[in-house]
A and B are shown apart, each in its own frame.
Chain A
Amino acid sequence: MNYVATVGEREVKVTVEVLGGSNYKVTLDGREVVVDAHQVANHLWSVLYGYASLEVDVTPVPGDAFEVLINGDCHKFALMNEQRRAMIRAGGKGAAGKAMVTSPMPGKVVKLLVSEGEEVKVDQGVIVVEAMKMENELKSAIAGKVKEIFVAEGEVVESGAKLLLVE
Chain B
Amino acid sequence: MFEKILIANRGEIAVRVLRACKEMGIPTVAVFSEVDRRALHTRYADEAYCIGPPPARESYLVIDKIIEVAKASGAKAIHPGYGFLAENPLFADRCEKEKIKLIGPSAYAMRTMGSKTLARKTVQAAGVPVVPGTVDPISSEEEVFRVAREIGFPVMLKATAGGGGKGLRLVREEGELRSSLRMAKSEAKSAFSDDSVYIEKYIENPRHVEIQILGDQHGNYVHLCERECSIQRRHQKVIEESPSVIIAPEVRAAMGKVAIEAARAVKYEGAGTCEFLVDRKRNFFFLEMNTRLQVEHPVTEMVTGIDIVKEQIRVAAGEKLSIRQEDVSQTGHAIECRVYAEDPEKNFIPCPGTVTSLRIPGGPGVRDDSGMYAGFEIPIYYDPIISKLVAWGKDRTEAIARMKRALAEYVVTGVKTTIPFHIRVMNNRHFVAGDFDTNFIDKVFFKEEEARELEHGEVALVAAAIQVHAEERKHAVAQKPGEAGGPVSMWKYSTRPGIRKIG
A contacts, CB < 8 Å to B: 1, 3, 5, 7, 12, 14, 16, 18, 24, 26, 28, 33, 35, 37, 39-45, 47, 49, 52, 54-60, 66-77, 79-81, 104-108, 131-136, 156, 159
Question: For residue B461, which residue of chain A has the nearest CB?
Answer: A5
Smallest Cβ distance from B289 to chain A, in angstroms? 23
The chain B residue with its CB closest to the CB of A57 is: B413
Describe A's contact surface by its main secondary structure. Answer: strand
Given the known A-B contacts A44-B413, A73-B454, A133-B383, are A16 and B463 also in contact in the complex, defined by CB atoms under 8 Å? no
**Which of A18, A49, A105, A132 lies in contact with B459, CB distance below 8 A?**
A49
Interface size on B, residues (CB 8 A): 49
Q: For B277, list chain A residues within 8 Å (CB).
A: none
- A153: shortest Cβ distance to chain B, in Å? 14
For the complex, give the distance between the alpha carbons of A81 and B473 in Å.
Answer: 13
Contact indicator B383/A75 (Cβ below 8 Å): no
The 4 closest A-B CB pairs, nearest first, are A72-B423, A75-B460, A68-B460, A41-B357
With a CB–CB cut-off of 8 A, which chain B residues contact A60? 467
B357 touches A44 (CB 8 A): yes
Contact of B466 among A26, A71, A73, A135 (CB under 8 A): A26
Give the Cβ gap from B163 to chain A, nearest Cβ, in Å.
12
Q: Given A5-B461, A68-B460 in contact, is the A105-B455 Cβ separation under 8 Å?
A: no
Contact, CB under 8 Å: A58 / B463: yes
Q: Per a CB cutoff under 8 Å, which of B413, B463, B469 touches A41?
A: B413
Which residue of chain B lies nearest to A157 when distances are taken between CB atoms in the complex? B380
In the complex the two chains form, is A28's CB within 8 Å of B461's CB? Answer: yes
In the complex, residue of chain B having the shortest beta-carbon distance to the beta carbon of A79 = B464
Whether the pair B382, A133 counts as a contact (CB closer than 8 A) is yes
6 contacts across the A-B interface (CB closer than 8 A):
A68-B461, A70-B460, A75-B461, A106-B380, A132-B352, A159-B353
The secondary structure that dominates the B interface is: helix
A79 touches B341 (CB 8 A): no
Apart from A49-B462, A68-B461, A74-B454, what are 16 other A-B pairs with CB-CB below 8 Å?
A16-B468, A28-B462, A40-B357, A44-B357, A45-B463, A54-B456, A60-B467, A67-B345, A70-B459, A72-B408, A72-B420, A74-B344, A104-B349, A105-B350, A106-B352, A131-B350
A71 to B463, CA, bound (A): 14
Q: Known contacts A26-B462, A58-B464; decide if A71 and B350 are in contact (CB<8 Å).
A: no
Do residues B465 and A75 form an inter-chain contact, with CB atoms below 8 A? no
Name the A residues within 8 Å of B416 (CB-CB): 59
Knowing A70-B460, A71-B456, A73-B420 touch, does A55 contact B465 (C-beta < 8 A)?
Answer: no
B468 touches A3 (CB 8 A): yes
Contact A75 B413 (CB under 8 A): no
Q: How far is the CB of A94 from chain B (nearest CB, A)?
A: 22
The reply to whether A55 and B463 form a contact with Cβ atoms under 8 Å apart is no
Given contacts A70-B456, A71-B423, A108-B380, contact A12 B469 (CB under 8 A): no
* A132:B382 contact, CB within 8 angstroms: yes
Query: Which residues of B in the span 374-420 have a Cβ within 8 Å of any Cβ on A?
Result: 380-384, 407-408, 411, 413-414, 416, 419-420
Instruction: Decide yes or no: A44 and B461 within 8 Å by CB, A72-B420, A104-B346 being known contacts.
Output: no
